[in-house]
């Protein structure tokens, strides 16, 4: 699949089944995604992979923080795909590259990974929510004080209805400005 096709046909998939990529295949795809722009090659991110009972443990951890009537629903959210890959942002504190730029690098890796998964026939969906703010999840996953969970990718083989057709490329002219110096303020 060429890059433009991957970009225009990738969709978030809500129904994900086995198989999901194994650890070696995930590492291979991550190697490609890690080619994303990263000023200083800091790699201010890491991934935590959860499968099987580990997803259940995370679900129980998240459920422990909500009222009893919400626990089953919250716990079940970690079981929506065979692989849950949590993205941890770990900024290089005091580095010359500002934190916002490091965050952009981590985000770029996540999107690159989604495209590579799609090109391999896997589906994924980016999830945020309770996981990103949960003290219990941070403790269970062993995050350091300076680290933050940005979200997770639910990953598996797409099930359910087919993904929508290729996206149309719309007119984005109103989102692009071409600068010319003759429009610059006087004295510039």
- Reply yes or no on whether the pLDDT at 187 is more than 80: no
pLDDT on residue 183: 66
Closest listed residue to residue 137, CA positions, set 60, 73, 74: 60
- Reply yes or no on whether the pLDDT at 162 is more than 80: no
What is the band of 66 on the pLDDT scale with cuts at 50, 70, 90?
very high
Q: Are 16 and 85 in contact (CB under 8 A)?
A: no
Domains annotated for the chain, with CATH where assigned, are 3-183 (3.40.109.10)
DSSP 161-186: SPPPPPPP----GGG-----GGGSPT
What is the band of 160 on the pLDDT scale with cuts at 50, 70, 90?
confident
pLDDT on residue 32: 98
For the purposes of burial, counting CB atoms within 10 Å of the CB of 65, is it exposed (0-12), middle (13-18) or buried (19 or more)?
Answer: middle
pLDDT on residue 68: 97
What is the band of 181 on the pLDDT scale with cuts at 50, 70, 90?
confident
Q: What are 113-146's pLDDT values in tens digits?
A: 999 999 999 999 999 999 999 999 999 999 999 9
CA dihedral 141, 133, 91, 46 (to 10 degrees): 40
Q: Is 128 helix (H, G, I), strand (E, B) or coil?
A: coil
Alpha carbons 19 and 134: distance in angstroms, whole number: 28
CA atoms within 13 A on the CB side of 99: 8
What is the band of 161 on the pLDDT scale with cuts at 50, 70, 90?
confident
Closest listed residue to residue 105, CA positions, set 150, 147, 44: 44
What is the band of 2 on the pLDDT scale with cuts at 50, 70, 90?
very high
Percent of the chain with pLDDT over 90: 87
Closest listed residue to residue 32, CA positions, set 104, 103, 120, 101: 120
| Average pLDDT over every residue of 18-44 | 97
pLDDT on residue 45: 98
pLDDT on residue 188: 57
| Average pLDDT over every residue of 44-73 | 98
| Average pLDDT over every residue of 33-61 | 97
pLDDT on residue 12: 95
């Amino acid at each position: 699949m060429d890059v433009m096709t991957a970009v225009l046909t990738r969709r978030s998939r809500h129904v994900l089944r086995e198989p999901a990529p194994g650890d070696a295949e995930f590492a291979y795809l991550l190697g490609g995604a890690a080619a994303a722009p990263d000023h200083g090659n800091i790699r201010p991110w890491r991934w935590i992979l959860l499968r099987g009972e580990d997803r259940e443990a995370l679900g129980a951890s998240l459920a422990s923080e909500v009222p009893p009537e919400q626990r089953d629903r919250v716990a079940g959210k970690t079981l929506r795909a065979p692989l849950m890959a949590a993205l941890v942002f770990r900024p290089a504190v005091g580095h010359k590259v500002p934190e916002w730029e490091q965050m952009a690098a981590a985000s770029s890796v996540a999107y690159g990974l989604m495209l590579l998964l799609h090109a391999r026939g896997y589906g994924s969906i980016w999830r945020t929510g309770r996981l990103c703010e949960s003290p219990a999840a941070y403790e269970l996953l062993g995050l350091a004080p300076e680290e933050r969970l940005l979200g997770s990718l639910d990953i598996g083989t797409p099930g359910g209805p087919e993904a929508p057709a290729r996206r149309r490329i719309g007119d984005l002219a109103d989102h692009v400005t071409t600068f010319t110096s003759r429009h610059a303020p006087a004295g510039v």
